[in-house]
Structure 1
Amino acid sequence: MARDGARPAYDPAGHDTDLRAALQEVRTGRWMSMRTLLERTVTWWQWTQRTQVLAAAAAGTDVVRTWLAEEPDSVPAAVMRARVAVERALRARREEHLRTHELWIEAWDLSDAATRTAPKDPVPWVCLLALAQLDRRQLWEEHRAAPPEPMLPPGPWGLLAEAERRDPYNREAHHRMLQFLYAQAASEQLAEAVGYAHWVADTAPAGSALHVLPLHVRVERYRRGGGRSAALDLHWVAEEATREARRAYHSWFEQSLPVEQSPLDLNHLAHALWGALRFEDAARVFDAIGPYYTPVPWTHRTADPGDQAQAVQIFLQARARSRSAPREA
Structure 2
Amino acid sequence: MSPPPPPLGRSRKRAAAQILDAALDDSELVAARAALAQGRWQAARALLARTGDDWDRRGHRVTVLALEPYSAAWAGDWLLAEPESADAAVLLALAQVRRTLRGKEKPVMAREACRTAAALAPADPTPWLGLLMLERDLGAGEEIVRLFGEVRARYADHHHAHHLMVAHLAERRSEAGPDPLHEVYDFAHWAAEQAPADSPLAILPVVAHAERYRVLAAAGHEPPDPAACGHWAGRRARQVMKAAFDWWLEWEHEGHPRRLVDLNFLAHAKVCEGRGAEAAALFHRIGDHVTPAPWSYPDRDPCPAFRAARAGALGTA
TM-score band by shorter chain is: 0.7 to 0.9
> Is the 1:242–1:273 Cα contact (8 Å) retained in structure 2?
no
With over 3 angstroms needed to count, the CA separation of the structure-2 counterparts of 1:230 and 1:283, relative to structure 1, is: closer
Aligned partner of 1:320 among 308, 311, 315: 311
With over 3 angstroms needed to count, the CA separation of the structure-2 counterparts of 1:253 and 1:17, relative to structure 1, is: farther
- The correspondence of residues 42-81 of structure 1 with structure 2, limited to 5 A, is 42=52, 43-58=54-69, 62-81=73-92
- CA–CA separation in structure 2 for the residues paired with 1:15 and 1:137: 33
Match of 1:127 in 2: 130
Amino acid at match of 1:202: E
1:156 and 2:152 aligned? no
- CA–CA separation in structure 1 for the residues paired with 2:137 and 2:295: 26
- The correspondence of residues 93-132 of structure 1 with structure 2, limited to 5 A, is 103-132=106-135
With over 3 angstroms needed to count, the CA separation of the structure-2 counterparts of 1:289 and 1:8, relative to structure 1, is: farther
Match of 1:290 in 2: 287
With over 3 angstroms needed to count, the CA separation of the structure-2 counterparts of 1:292 and 1:200, relative to structure 1, is: same
Aligned partner of 1:262 among 259, 268, 276: 259
Match of 1:149 in 2: none
> Is the 1:267–1:294 Cα contact (8 Å) retained in structure 2?
yes
Give the deviation of 1:164 after TM superposition. Answer: 2.3
Match of 1:34 in 2: 44
Give the deviation of 1:66 after TM superposition. Answer: 1.9
> Is the 1:14–1:292 Cα contact (8 Å) retained in structure 2?
yes
Amino acid at match of 1:290: G
- CA–CA separation in structure 2 for the residues paired with 1:283 and 1:16: 23
With over 3 angstroms needed to count, the CA separation of the structure-2 counterparts of 1:232 and 1:60, relative to structure 1, is: farther
Give the deviation of 1:176 after TM superposition. Answer: 2.8
> Is the 1:126–1:176 Cα contact (8 Å) retained in structure 2?
no
Aligned partner of 1:233 among 219, 229, 233: 229
Partner-residue secondary structure (3-state), 2:296: helix
Give the deviation of 1:298 after TM superposition. Answer: 1.8
Match of 1:272 in 2: 269
With over 3 angstroms needed to count, the CA separation of the structure-2 counterparts of 1:135 and 1:229, relative to structure 1, is: closer
Give the deviation of 1:238 after TM superposition. Answer: 2.5
Q: Identify which range, 291-300 or 222-231, moves more after superposition.
A: 222-231
- CA–CA separation in structure 2 for the residues paired with 1:74 and 1:21: 21
Task: Quote the sequence identity (%).
Answer: 33
> Is the 1:126–1:173 Cα contact (8 Å) retained in structure 2?
yes
Structure 1: runs of 5 or more not aligned: 1-6, 145-154
State how many pairs are aligned.
Answer: 291
- CA–CA separation in structure 1 for the residues paired with 2:241 and 2:206: 7
Give the deviation of 1:46 after TM superposition. Answer: 0.9
Cα deviation code 1:40-65 (max 9, x no counterpart): 11322211111111112256652211
Cα deviation code 1:169-218 (max 9, x no counterpart): 11112123234435655535583333322221232222322222222232
Match of 2:156 in 1: 168
- CA–CA separation in structure 2 for the residues paired with 1:117 and 1:294: 32
- CA–CA separation in structure 2 for the residues paired with 1:134 and 1:224: 15
> Is the 2:195–2:201 Cα contact (8 Å) retained in structure 1?
yes
TM-score, structure 1 normalization:
0.77
Cα deviation code 1:243-286 (max 9, x no counterpart): 22222222246313212153222111111112112222222211
Amino acid at match of 1:17: S
Structure 2: runs of 5 or more not aligned: 1-16, 218-222
Cα deviation code 1:86-113 (max 9, x no counterpart): 2222333xxxx8x6xxx22222222122
TM-score, structure 2 normalization:
0.80
